């Protein structure tokens, strides 16, 4: 069993900051790509940022220069530092990870989501 658990969401004023965390646990052999997605009400889920195990990160144009994705491979955790937040960043944020587990399967897992609300 593999589980992803997000934390760090909440209510913040425009221009503020939040840091999201997502920890993977369970029968993990290796974690490959990790990422953050978001889904606003009435909209499709969209990519926010991705980070490979080693290599170059990638960001949606709408968050470049404001958000930073990072990871701690020793702790199986991915982070999303969000600065200069805007009301349009309001959404449920989901982490995902491509994981090779002890049952010898390699697949993508998703967290349960954490709400981020940017409002004055």
Q: What pLDDT, in 10s, does the model give residues 41-59? A: 999 999 999 999 888 999 9
The reported pLDDT for the residue numbered 55 is 81
pLDDT score for 37: 98
The Cα 18–Cα 11 span in angstroms is: 9
Confidence of residue 33 (pLDDT cuts 50, 70, 90): very high
Helix or strand run (H / E) with residue 57: none
- Residue whose C-alpha is closest to residue 118's, from 61, 66, 77, 44: 66
CA atoms within 13 A on the CB side of 23: 6
Q: What is the pLDDT of residue 54?
A: 85
pLDDT of 96 strictly over 90: yes
**Mean confidence (pLDDT) of the chain:** 96
């Amino acid at each position: 069993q593999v589980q992803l658990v997000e934390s760090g969401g909440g209510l913040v004023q425009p221009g503020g900051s939040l840091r999201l965390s997502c920890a993977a646990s369970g029968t993990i052999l290796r974690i490959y790509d990790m990422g953050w997605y978001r889904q606003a009400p009435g909209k499709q889920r969209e990519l926010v940022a991705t980070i490979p195990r080693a290599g170059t990160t990638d960001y949606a144009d709408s968050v470049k220069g404001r958000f930073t994705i990072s990871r701690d491979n020793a702790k199986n955790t991915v982070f999303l530092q969000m600065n200069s937040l805007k009301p349009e960043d309001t959404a449920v944020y989901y982490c995902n990870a491509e994981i090779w587990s002890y049952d010898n399967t390699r697949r993508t897992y998703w967290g349960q989501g954490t709400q981020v609300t940017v409002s004055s």
